[in-house]
Protein backbone atom coordinates (compact mmCIF):
# COMPACT_ATOMS: atom_id res chain seq x y z
CA UNK A 1 0.00 0.00 0.00
CA UNK A 2 1.34 3.42 -0.97
CA UNK A 3 1.74 5.90 1.87
CA UNK A 4 0.13 9.32 1.71
CA UNK A 5 2.13 11.85 -0.29
CA UNK A 6 4.44 14.39 1.22
CA UNK A 7 3.88 17.90 -0.09
CA UNK A 8 6.99 19.98 -0.77
CA UNK A 9 6.35 23.69 -1.16
CA UNK A 10 8.17 25.27 -4.11
CA UNK A 11 8.35 28.96 -4.90
CA UNK A 12 10.69 31.44 -6.52
CA UNK A 13 14.05 31.79 -4.70
CA UNK A 14 13.60 28.54 -2.74
CA UNK A 15 16.82 27.20 -1.21
CA UNK A 16 17.65 24.11 -3.26
CA UNK A 17 19.95 22.46 -0.70
CA UNK A 18 17.62 22.33 2.29
CA UNK A 19 15.19 19.50 1.59
CA UNK A 20 16.94 16.91 -0.60
CA UNK A 21 18.02 14.56 2.18
CA UNK A 22 14.47 14.41 3.50
CA UNK A 23 12.63 14.01 0.20
CA UNK A 24 14.91 11.25 -1.10
CA UNK A 25 14.47 9.12 2.01
CA UNK A 26 10.73 9.77 2.16
CA UNK A 27 10.32 8.74 -1.47
CA UNK A 28 12.35 5.57 -0.86
CA UNK A 29 10.07 4.80 2.09
CA UNK A 30 7.00 4.91 -0.15
CA UNK A 31 5.82 8.50 0.33
CA UNK A 32 5.26 10.09 -3.10
CA UNK A 33 6.69 13.61 -3.07
CA UNK A 34 4.41 16.19 -4.67
CA UNK A 35 5.53 19.76 -5.30
CA UNK A 36 3.14 22.58 -4.41
CA UNK A 37 3.47 26.08 -5.82
CA UNK A 38 1.51 29.29 -5.37
CA UNK A 39 -0.11 28.20 -8.64
CA UNK A 40 0.90 25.54 -11.13
CA UNK A 41 3.08 28.06 -13.01
CA UNK A 42 6.81 27.21 -13.02
CA UNK A 43 9.03 28.61 -10.27
CA UNK A 44 12.79 29.13 -10.18
CA UNK A 45 15.00 28.19 -7.24
CA UNK A 46 17.97 30.14 -5.92
CA UNK A 47 20.21 27.76 -7.85
CA UNK A 48 18.36 28.44 -11.09
CA UNK A 49 16.36 25.20 -11.23
CA UNK A 50 13.04 25.60 -13.00
CA UNK A 51 10.33 23.59 -11.24
CA UNK A 52 6.85 22.83 -12.52
CA UNK A 53 4.60 22.38 -9.45
CA UNK A 54 2.38 19.32 -9.32
CA UNK A 55 -0.38 21.27 -7.61
CA UNK A 56 -1.44 24.75 -6.56
CA UNK A 57 -1.47 25.59 -2.87
CA UNK A 58 -5.22 26.19 -2.75
CA UNK A 59 -5.85 22.64 -3.96
CA UNK A 60 -3.84 20.90 -1.22
CA UNK A 61 -5.80 19.55 1.77
CA UNK A 62 -4.25 18.34 5.03
CA UNK A 63 -6.29 15.13 4.98
CA UNK A 64 -4.64 14.14 1.71
CA UNK A 65 -1.10 14.61 2.99
CA UNK A 66 1.40 13.03 5.36
CA UNK A 67 3.50 16.19 5.72
CA UNK A 68 3.97 19.73 4.41
CA UNK A 69 7.63 20.76 3.95
CA UNK A 70 8.42 24.47 3.74
CA UNK A 71 11.93 25.30 2.51
CA UNK A 72 13.64 28.62 2.96
CA UNK A 73 13.54 31.28 0.26
CA UNK A 74 14.55 34.91 -0.10
CA UNK A 75 10.88 35.76 -0.53
CA UNK A 76 10.12 34.86 3.10
CA UNK A 77 12.02 38.00 4.13
CA UNK A 78 11.47 40.37 1.22
CA UNK A 79 7.72 40.26 0.67
CA UNK A 80 4.41 38.82 1.86
CA UNK A 81 4.16 36.57 -1.20
CA UNK A 82 4.67 33.39 0.81
CA UNK A 83 2.27 34.22 3.65
CA UNK A 84 -0.35 31.86 2.13
CA UNK A 85 2.05 28.98 2.74
CA UNK A 86 2.25 29.90 6.44
CA UNK A 87 -1.54 30.01 6.57
CA UNK A 88 -1.66 26.58 4.94
CA UNK A 89 0.78 25.37 7.60
CA UNK A 90 -1.70 26.55 10.23
CA UNK A 91 -4.45 24.50 8.58
CA UNK A 92 -2.19 21.44 8.56
CA UNK A 93 -1.23 21.80 12.22
CA UNK A 94 -4.83 22.41 13.27
CA UNK A 95 -5.73 19.17 11.48
CA UNK A 96 -2.92 17.31 13.25
CA UNK A 97 -0.89 16.87 10.06
CA UNK A 98 2.86 17.53 10.43
CA UNK A 99 4.67 20.56 9.07
CA UNK A 100 8.45 20.89 8.66
CA UNK A 101 9.96 24.36 8.16
CA UNK A 102 13.58 25.28 7.62
CA UNK A 103 15.48 28.56 7.27
CA UNK A 104 13.30 31.51 6.20
CA UNK A 105 10.16 29.42 6.43
CA UNK A 106 10.56 29.50 10.22
CA UNK A 107 10.20 33.29 10.06
CA UNK A 108 7.03 32.84 8.05
CA UNK A 109 5.62 30.57 10.73
CA UNK A 110 6.70 33.04 13.41
CA UNK A 111 4.80 35.84 11.68
CA UNK A 112 1.75 33.57 11.51
CA UNK A 113 1.95 33.01 15.29
CA UNK A 114 2.69 29.30 14.95
CA UNK A 115 5.89 29.41 17.03
CA UNK A 116 4.51 31.38 19.97
CA UNK A 117 3.56 28.26 21.94
CA UNK A 118 5.90 25.61 20.51
CA UNK A 119 9.57 24.82 21.01
CA UNK A 120 11.44 25.71 17.84
CA UNK A 121 14.73 26.77 16.31
CA UNK A 122 15.97 28.66 13.26
CA UNK A 123 19.16 30.30 12.01
CA UNK A 124 19.64 32.43 15.15
CA UNK A 125 17.25 33.70 17.79
CA UNK A 126 17.46 37.36 16.77
CA UNK A 127 16.44 36.47 13.22
CA UNK A 128 13.06 35.32 14.51
CA UNK A 129 12.91 38.11 17.10
CA UNK A 130 12.92 40.60 14.21
CA UNK A 131 9.52 39.25 13.14
CA UNK A 132 7.99 40.60 16.36
CA UNK A 133 6.66 37.19 17.35
CA UNK A 134 5.84 36.24 20.94
CA UNK A 135 7.67 32.91 21.08
CA UNK A 136 11.21 33.98 21.95
CA UNK A 137 11.18 32.07 25.23
CA UNK A 138 10.51 28.83 23.32
CA UNK A 139 13.56 29.23 21.06
CA UNK A 140 16.05 26.35 21.40
CA UNK A 141 19.73 26.66 20.41
CA UNK A 142 20.14 23.33 18.60
CA UNK A 143 20.30 21.91 15.09
CA UNK A 144 16.62 20.96 14.71
CA UNK A 145 13.58 20.77 16.96
CA UNK A 146 10.41 18.70 16.90
CA UNK A 147 7.49 19.83 19.03
CA UNK A 148 4.42 17.69 18.41
CA UNK A 149 3.71 17.76 14.68
CA UNK A 150 6.09 20.67 13.93
CA UNK A 151 9.75 20.40 12.86
CA UNK A 152 12.00 23.46 12.59
CA UNK A 153 15.65 23.88 11.63
CA UNK A 154 18.15 26.49 10.52
CA UNK A 155 19.61 26.82 7.01
CA UNK A 156 22.87 25.02 7.78
CA UNK A 157 21.15 21.88 9.11
CA UNK A 158 19.50 20.02 6.20
CA UNK A 159 20.64 16.63 7.56
CA UNK A 160 19.30 17.28 11.07
CA UNK A 161 16.10 18.61 9.47
CA UNK A 162 15.75 15.34 7.56
CA UNK A 163 16.54 13.32 10.70
CA UNK A 164 13.62 14.89 12.55
CA UNK A 165 11.26 14.36 9.61
CA UNK A 166 12.29 10.72 9.24
CA UNK A 167 11.76 10.18 12.96
CA UNK A 168 8.40 11.93 12.97
CA UNK A 169 7.04 9.86 10.07
CA UNK A 170 8.57 6.63 11.38
CA UNK A 171 10.82 6.04 8.38
CA UNK A 172 13.83 5.27 10.60
CA UNK A 173 14.18 5.09 14.36
CA UNK A 174 16.64 4.18 17.09
CA UNK A 175 20.04 2.87 16.02
CA UNK A 176 19.20 3.05 12.32
CA UNK A 177 18.16 6.71 12.49
CA UNK A 178 21.28 7.54 14.48
CA UNK A 179 23.45 5.73 11.94
CA UNK A 180 21.76 7.51 9.04
CA UNK A 181 22.49 10.86 10.66
CA UNK A 182 26.10 9.96 11.43
CA UNK A 183 26.69 8.80 7.87
CA UNK A 184 25.32 11.87 6.14
CA UNK A 185 26.28 14.48 8.73
CA UNK A 186 29.60 13.15 10.01
CA UNK A 187 30.72 10.83 7.16
CA UNK A 188 31.11 8.08 9.79
CA UNK A 189 32.06 4.85 7.94
CA UNK A 190 30.87 2.70 10.85
CA UNK A 191 27.36 4.01 10.26
CA UNK A 192 27.35 2.56 6.75
CA UNK A 193 27.61 -0.96 8.15
CA UNK A 194 24.62 -0.43 10.45
CA UNK A 195 22.50 0.89 7.58
CA UNK A 196 23.57 -1.90 5.24
CA UNK A 197 22.58 -4.57 7.77
CA UNK A 198 19.23 -2.85 8.28
CA UNK A 199 18.59 -2.63 4.53
CA UNK A 200 18.40 1.12 4.81
CA UNK A 201 20.72 2.00 1.93
Average confidence (pLDDT) over 139-156: 98
Residues classed as catalytic: 103
pTM check: above 0.85 = yes
Residue 156 burial class via C-beta count within 10 angstroms: exposed 0-12, middle 13-18, buried 19 and up: middle
Measured between alpha carbons, how far is residue 179 from residues 30, 183, 187, 194, 201 in Å?
A: 20, 6, 10, 6, 11
Res 2 pLDDT > 80: no
14-42 pLDDT, tens per residue?
999 999 999 999 999 999 999 999 999 99
Model confidence pLDDT, tens digit, residues 165-185: 999 999 999 999 999 999 999
* Rounded alpha-carbon distances, angstroms, from residue 101 to 68, 85, 110, 188: 8, 11, 11, 27
Which has the closest alpha carbon to 46: 19, 17, 79, 70?
17
100 φ/ψ angles, rounded to the nearest 5 degrees? -125, 120
- CB 166 within 8 Å of CB 172: yes
pLDDT band of residue 104 (cuts 50, 70, 90) is: very high
pLDDT at site 201 = 78
Report the percent of the chain where pLDDT is more than 70. 100
Across the range 119-139, mean pLDDT stands at 97
What per-residue confidence (pLDDT) applies to 91?
98
Res 146: pLDDT = 98
Answer yes or no: is pLDDT of 1 > 60: no
Q: Is the pLDDT of residue 102 over 70?
A: yes
pLDDT of residue 3: 87
Q: Is the pLDDT of residue 199 over 90?
A: no
pLDDT at 100: 98
Amino acid sequence: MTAKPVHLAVYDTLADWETGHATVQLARAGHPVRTVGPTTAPVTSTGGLRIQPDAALDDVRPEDSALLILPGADLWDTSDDLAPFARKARAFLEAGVPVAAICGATAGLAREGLLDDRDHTSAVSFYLAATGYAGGERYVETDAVTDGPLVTAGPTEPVAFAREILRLLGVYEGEVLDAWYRLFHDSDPAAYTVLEKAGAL
